[in-house]
Chain A
């Protein structure tokens, strides 16, 4: 394995820019949010007290844990966290159920077809997310495309209320995040060793059991990657629940927005954010270390 110690000089130089980028663009903002979470609210700009004060002779550090206590004590926040996790878990599962057959189907096509189909999967990225979500509003609203179609076909006699419900949130999230699930699973399945399937067939497996006993377990790493790519951003998703959801889908992204911009309580908003990061980072780190042990 390559480690920092065994690397050559040029290799070390090569990894400096990405680390520098991550430090400036990711670590520094995270530390700033943490600092705001540990400060006190005040009226003014910025709307929080400085963490460090220097009066010419003495450095004082004012750490304020009240924001965290407030967020942890108030049942509302716990409820919102749970709703976010539930919505993220269910949408991840739904996305997986659509993405896996799609990725498998593409990987079974002849080579020249595959890149075209993958292209179609990522085409939506070429337009703005907001526009696509507004399009869904037009499709799902009471006088929208879907209801008009169903009414026209005579399947329903009055419009279904889909927009501004949790169903609309799931539809929007699954639609938005589908490519993030399809791509890692597809790249895993496209690389699969066909001789393993032949070996399974040769040893007595039919088409289904050779898939279930060989292809599927070997695609688990793609599934885990796809689920992480969907689950993590969906927990903090703001746009889709805000535009498609109703009062019953209060997710954490919305809460953070409200704290920051409506209540102008930056320290509480930052605390909610820090807790969200912890909520996601700790289980994912555990999962990662389990996976890397499994691979040996």
Chain B
């Protein structure tokens, strides 16, 4: 990993008895697209607002580009925020909204004009500059809010649920645009989202949060393929989880006996994880293979959900548990409800989790 550009060191924020953020330490590299992902109330917005300077942490510090900014008010920080509500100034035109911060910084008029036309080109706002925010669509407002933050050339751009108000198609388009802009400008982006799909799509790394703590930090592949806990595995996509009765490790793989299952299974053991204590085995539905006969866990198809691009099967296993399997829709569907099938997966598709 690159050297740290933004360092959060032991950040805590409490409101009375309520702990919003609890002892979070994170390093974000320069030029990263970093996501804070978690359900609502997990402290991700508070964390972002602490970086922006709107919240003074109860404990810990924020270091940005080598300088301690913990005590600086928002107007003195080299960060800019794109607000969830966009917070466009309703009394000012689009152009005046965008240059608001530049005027405050007393930049020369010529410089302001150049930066305005640059950012208007980049975000296709040229035709809207004279309009008032009330005359814009949701997507246009979102681009103005982004332009207003970007035009100040912040060291870190903070995005608070930036796409929450957009419809699904526009959201996908905007995600691509954000990634393109971030690469083009080489800026550091920190985005807060509760949408795991969005976090996976845009970020270079994701921090998964719950109840004011960071549970895991890693690339989208890492957190999806090698979640460290049941919570992370369930939060990111869907997964089949079975309780492990006994486990023994050898060279990064483990041999486990599953409660209620016959025989032994092999599974990846995350580096440093002990085979002592309660463990679970996780298999993603898309890694489960269904067959009519042969090796595997026997079961009966209980339900089929058709979602267009794929079919999802719910298999009732003989020992009482259920298992989900997903198949890409490649035309035809030979498996029907009530069919007896066997489910199997490759050893490296199974993964051991701690609580």
- A residues bordering B, Cβ < 8 Å? 193, 195-196, 198-206, 209, 213-214, 217-218
Cβ B104 vs Cβ A204 within 8 A: yes
B75 at the interface (CB under 8 A from A): yes
Cβ B101 vs Cβ A203 within 8 A: yes
Say yes or no: A203-B85 contact (C-beta < 8 A), given A217-B91, A218-B90: no
Query: A145: shortest Cβ distance to chain B, in Å?
Result: 45
Cβ A195 vs Cβ B83 within 8 A: yes
Query: B238: shortest Cβ distance to chain A, in Å?
Result: 35
The 10 closest A-B pairs by CB, nearest first: A203-B101, A199-B87, A204-B104, A195-B87, A201-B74, A202-B81, A204-B75, A204-B101, A202-B74, A217-B91
Q: Choose among B52, B87, B100, B148 the residue with the greatest number of A CB atoms under 10 Å from its CB.
A: B87
Query: B99: shortest Cβ distance to chain A, in Å?
Result: 10
B13 at the interface (CB under 8 A from A): no
Residues of chain B lying within 8 A (CB to CB) of residue A203: 75, 80, 100-101, 104, 148-149, 152
B54 at the interface (CB under 8 A from A): yes
Residues of chain B lying within 8 A (CB to CB) of residue A200: 89, 100
Known: A201-B54, A204-B104. 13 other contacts (CB 8 A): A193-B87, A196-B87, A198-B54, A198-B83, A199-B87, A199-B88, A201-B74, A202-B80, A203-B75, A203-B152, A213-B104, A218-B89, A218-B90
Interface string of B165-200 (1 = CB under 8 A from A): 000000000000000000000000000000000000
Cβ B74 vs Cβ A196 within 8 A: no
Cβ A196 vs Cβ B89 within 8 A: yes
A-B contact pairs, 17 of them (CB 8 A): A195-B83, A196-B87, A196-B90, A198-B83, A199-B83, A199-B88, A199-B148, A200-B89, A201-B75, A202-B74, A203-B149, A204-B101, A206-B73, A213-B104, A214-B89, A218-B90, A218-B91
Q: Choose among A196, A200, A204 the residue with the greatest number of B CB atoms under 10 Å from its CB.
A: A204
- B residues bordering A, Cβ < 8 Å? 52-54, 73-75, 79-81, 83, 85, 87-91, 100-101, 104-105, 148-149, 152
Residues of chain B lying within 8 A (CB to CB) of residue A205: 75, 104
Q: Which residue of A lies closest to B76 (CB)?
A: A204
Query: A216: shortest Cβ distance to chain B, in Å?
Result: 10
Query: A119: shortest Cβ distance to chain B, in Å?
Result: 28
Q: Which of A193, A195, A206, A218 contacts B75 (CB 8 A)?
A: A206
Residues of chain B lying within 8 A (CB to CB) of residue A214: 89
Residues of chain B lying within 8 A (CB to CB) of residue A195: 83, 85, 87
Q: Choose among A196, A199, A203, A217 the residue with the greatest number of B CB atoms under 10 Å from its CB.
A: A203
Query: A239: shortest Cβ distance to chain B, in Å?
Result: 38
Cβ B100 vs Cβ A213 within 8 A: yes
Residues of chain B lying within 8 A (CB to CB) of residue A196: 87, 89-90
Q: Which residue of B lies closest to A209 (CB)?
A: B104
Q: Which of B79, B89, B105 contacts A199 (CB 8 A)?
A: B89
Query: A263: shortest Cβ distance to chain B, in Å?
Result: 51
State in angstroms the CA–CA spacing of A81 and B210 once bound together. Answer: 70
Query: B133: shortest Cβ distance to chain A, in Å?
Result: 11
Q: Which residue of A lies closest to B81 (CB)?
A: A202
State in angstroms the CA–CA spacing of A204 and B52 once bound together. Answer: 12
State in angstroms the CA–CA spacing of A202 and B154 once bound together. Answer: 11
Cβ B89 vs Cβ A202 within 8 A: no
Residues of chain A lying within 8 A (CB to CB) of residue B91: 217-218
Residues of chain A lying within 8 A (CB to CB) of residue B149: 202-203
Residues of chain B lying within 8 A (CB to CB) of residue A201: 53-54, 73-75
